[in-house]
Copies of this chain bind each other. A is one copy, B any other.
Amino acid sequence: MKKIGVGLLGCGVVGEAVYRGLAENAKAISARCGFQFDVKKIAVNNISKKRVGVSGGLLTKKYMEVVQAPGVDIVVELMGGEEDAFTAVTTALKLKKHVVTANKLLLAKRGEEIFDLAQKAGVKIGFEASVAGAVPVIRTIKEAIASGKIKSVFGIINGTSNFILSSMMERQTTFADALEEAQNLGYAEADPTFDVAGIDAAHKLTILANLAFGTPVKLKDVHIEGIGLLTPDDFIFARQFGRVIKLLATAKNDDGKLDIRVHPAMVPANMPIARIDGVTNAVEVDVSDAGRLMLIGPGAGGDATASAVIADLVDIARDMAHCSSARVSPTGFLPHSRKRLPLKNIDSIKGGYYLRFTVDDKPGVLAKMAGILGDNGISIDSVIQKGRTGGIVPLVILTHEAVEKSVKKAINKIDRLSTSQARTMLIRLEDGL
């Protein structure tokens, strides 16, 4: 049996699952590709930590030792973070070693340099594990949709926030309670900022948009809003409108302009994406002519992520046996065919809006607000005004299609009224992309 040497950088939940998966499924893997993977060295922060089934003799604290070890043909980067990971990955590529990484932050921030280096070195950079865990969305976009033009790619690609939103939708809990529950269950980290602020989803979306549209995308191109400001009221109103709230990551090629954003959206409850609950991930790709594909599966977890890492290793083995590591370019497009799409400004997008105003419960308030909306060319689809109790009440308006800039202008004006008692909550409606 031919053997391929693997070096692991990082041996946390995913690293251990990769190590275990390669051992336990060695027979199934070689039945498919004719190779066995031999983990030669593992870089970890804490050498003395007990790791079930991992041979202590493989461990080192120095990641460059792993990268440079002569027996290591493929470097699997699971360290996370930016600087050290970048050094490790680029050193490996320069040594003409193949790289597999699950590091979406690294690719979102430094992807262009890394892809370019891999292309020049003629080696492979596998990153299926960086988006949506076991769901083969990278492979699908790079290889299965080679035929047509992709119009849009969108989905739920952050399990933590989707778990929190599912709880809030189901039980109308507060964000803080839902977050605490997610943390207790191990679905959210102690510092959940990346997940709940939409940053993790934005990292992943830059990768997907890059592959879908053949365009370099920077993290700062993405309009990002998190889920932290949503209240139980928003979920109650959503239900009354037959909708649910999801943190959607969407990227569209809008007539040659890139419309790319991550934000909470209200989607019809009968849309397939509305039914993706808990930590499951789902990505939908709309392809000209062919139609819409949807891929659903476990978006996180050691075993699911490890399965994507191992699929990339098998891919590399198949390429190593045929000297074809360059057969698919890192982005799926030939470098000279890629071009930077201009960005669509968020102010210029059009759509329906859910607006939750917080107002004094007084006669004439709605008339005044409706007037301001009308003055800005925004027509009202429906209104929910809570029972008259006096005091401060929520007042919810769903608009027909309107231009975002006008909506924001109207909200600004309404928020300055003496009868408005809090900043208005705006949630975009998404009725299918």
| A298: interface (CB < 8 Å) | yes
Complex CA–CA separation, A290 to B29 (angstroms): 14
Complex CA–CA separation, A128 to B32 (angstroms): 18
* Binding-face segment, A43-51, A109-117, A332-340, A388-396: A332-340
Q: Is the CB of A146 within 8 A of B314?
A: yes
Q: Which residues of B contact A297 (CB under 8 A)?
A: 290-294
| A315: interface (CB < 8 Å) | yes
* Binding-face segment, A60-68, A198-206, A320-328, A371-379: A320-328
| A31: interface (CB < 8 Å) | yes
Nearest-Cβ distance from residue A8 to partner chain B, whole angstroms: 15
Q: Which residues of B contact A33 (CB under 8 A)?
A: 146, 334
Complex CA–CA separation, A293 to B21 (angstroms): 18
Q: Which residues of B contact A108 (CB under 8 A)?
A: none
Nearest-Cβ distance from residue A381 to partner chain B, whole angstroms: 27
Complex CA–CA separation, A332 to B34 (angstroms): 11
Q: Which residue of B lies closest to A298 (CB)?
A: B291
Q: Is the CB of B311 within 8 A of A144?
A: yes
Q: Which residues of A contact B (CB under 8 A)?
A: 17, 21, 25, 28-34, 128, 134-136, 139-140, 143-149, 214, 272, 275, 287-298, 301, 303-304, 306-311, 314-315, 318-319, 321-324, 326-328, 332-334, 337-338
- Which A-B residue pairs are the 4 nearest by beta carbons? A324-B324, A290-B307, A147-B310, A136-B144
Known: A275-B275, A322-B323. 10 other contacts (CB 8 A): A17-B289, A25-B147, A25-B148, A128-B144, A134-B287, A147-B308, A287-B307, A289-B304, A292-B298, A294-B297
